[in-house]
Amino acid sequence: MSRSGERVHVLVFPYPAQGHTLPLLDLTHQLSLRNITITVLTTPKNKPTLSPLLNANPTIQTLVFPFPSHPSIPPGVENVRELGNNGNLPVMLALANLFDPIVHWFQSHHNPPVAIISDFFLGWTLSLANQLHIPRINFCSSGAFLCSVLDYGWNHVHIIKSFDDDAVIELPDLPRSPAFKGEHLPSVFKFYKESDPDSQFLKDGMINNSLSWGCVFNSFEAVEAEYLDYFKTKMGHNRVYGVGPLSLMGPPESTSSNDYTSEWLDKCPDGSVLYVCFGSQKLLNREQMEALALGLEKSQVRFLWVVKTGSDGYGSVPEGFEERVGERGLVVKGWAPQVSILNHKAVCGFVSHCGWNSVLEAIVGGVMVLGWPMEADQFVNARLLVEDLGVAVRVCEGADLVPDSDELGKVIAESLNGCVETKVKAKELRDKALAGVRSGGGSSIADLDRLVQDLNNLQLKTLLPGATEKE
């Protein structure tokens, strides 16, 4: 039993960026369905993101703190989507100021949490959990391969930083001994400065992830079995859980009946459409937009292109392009229902930046990926898709590279009209993803049930003052 004889209580702490928050809320939904009492920590402007979860699970409580100020974050900003990739470190630093308020809330609670589940960008919560004498469970919204690379890199950061961007850096301790050009490693290493306190905070937090009591990954056995096993070996125990794709297990979403993308796709033959989208953060510059447009035009394939526009030509579709391609293409400006598009029978390929959520959505849709990684985790994810899984091809690399439109058009045409083996593997991987979340034998459901059992066991063995998370 827990300290007050009630159900086991867990504090969930998401990181305020859409790609991080939504998977953890999907996990929270599943824990709530399995009779775990949950409090979700959030800030005022991020609370609306919790609405679908709270509507589906009325027993979930929220803990709302004002977003702490930081000199690099404009007043009123509480989410990374308003700052871009460079805003991650300031947001991490700001949220660390919630340490004392959380301690005060914990100490005054009649049934305090027996564990904290926090995002892998919130590694400082390991120190918080240690002070509260409860376990900290690391939630990784990305894959186990990426987290393996991050863990190795931060534990060897001085070696990593000694190489030039063009140098090939080997990671010998990891499965398959992968190697990356320095510029293709996760972007966070580029910002590290040995004498900088903020850099040290980032490094310590990332290293804390593999020192935590457990790790939960938004991934699954068929995609990353060897990397999940690597983490079990690294951590010295089996409290490593692959429970993805969590998007298949979240609370029900409202669907729009006014979806013109579906109407357009319904008119296309099965397996004939290329979906093109680079996520919510990345904007292509004018030259990249022109090259991509020309490549699509020369490929002669059907396509659905979602563009996000900005200033100075960023994200601007070249003048006359839509008229020239006519009914063969559909350009959507702004938001589009990516999950339903990727699951439509007309779609067979996806030009993507290879962000992890897009990777999982492509896998669930059973479509091959035409990868254009640009930053952050994307080069690591692209390598997994192309080399390890064989469900993708590369069409371009780099945030600033402008592809040759002739070559791009040729690759697009060949990919949609050929690449039979790649398409077959994509369909097979989709079947494995669906099997993983199936009750009564799926690997992700089994790991989720194991996580719940381990949490419930904490009721019987609450850590005593002075105990460590490894116990």
Residue 392 pLDDT: 96
- The per-residue pLDDT for range 261-279, each reduced to its tens digit, is 999 999 999 999 999 999 8
Residue 30 pLDDT: 96
Please provide the average confidence, as pLDDT, over all residues in the chain. 91
Point out the least confidently predicted range of 229-233, 254-258, 330-334: 254-258
Residue 440 pLDDT: 78
Residue 439 pLDDT: 79
Upper half-sphere CA count for residue 48 (Cβ side, 13 Å): 3
Point out the least confidently predicted range of 198-212, 249-263, 276-290, 308-322: 249-263
- The per-residue pLDDT for range 54-71, each reduced to its tens digit, is 999 999 999 999 999 999
- The per-residue pLDDT for range 286-318, each reduced to its tens digit, is 999 999 999 999 999 999 999 988 777 788 899
Q: Which two tokens stand for residue 56?
A: 């589906």
Residue 225 or residue 188, greater confidence: 225
Decide if pLDDT at 256 tops 60: no
Q: Which residue has the tokens 């993708």?
A: 392
pLDDT band at 465 (very low <50, low <70, confident <90, very high): very low
Decide if pLDDT at 249 tops 90: no
Pick the most confident of 42-46, 394-398, 467-471: 42-46
pLDDT band at 471 (very low <50, low <70, confident <90, very high): very low
Decide if pLDDT at 467 tops 60: no
Residue 375 pLDDT: 86
**Overall average pLDDT of the 409-434 stretch:** 94
**Overall average pLDDT of the 249-265 stretch:** 75
Residue 1 pLDDT: 36
**Overall average pLDDT of the 412-423 stretch:** 92
pLDDT band at 464 (very low <50, low <70, confident <90, very high): very low
Point out the least confidently predicted range of 100-114, 166-180, 250-264, 267-281: 250-264
Decide if pLDDT at 257 tops 60: no
Residue 205 pLDDT: 96
Q: From CA 408, how far away is CA 20, in angstroms rounded?
A: 32
Considering all CA atoms of the chain, what is the largest pairwise distance in Å, rounded to the nearest integer? 71
φ/ψ (deg, to 5) at 425: -65, -35
**pTM of this prediction?**
0.92
Q: For residues 113 and 10, is the Cβ–Cβ distance under 8 A?
A: yes
Residue 334 pLDDT: 85
Q: From CA 90, how far away is CA 107, in angstroms rounded?
A: 28
Residue 463 pLDDT: 41
Residue 461 pLDDT: 63
Q: Is 72 left (phi over 0), alpha (psi -120 to 50) or beta?
A: alpha
Decide if pLDDT at 237 tops 90: yes
Decide if pLDDT at 412 tops 50: yes
Residue 5 pLDDT: 54
Quick one: what percent of the chain has pLDDT higher than 90?
Answer: 78
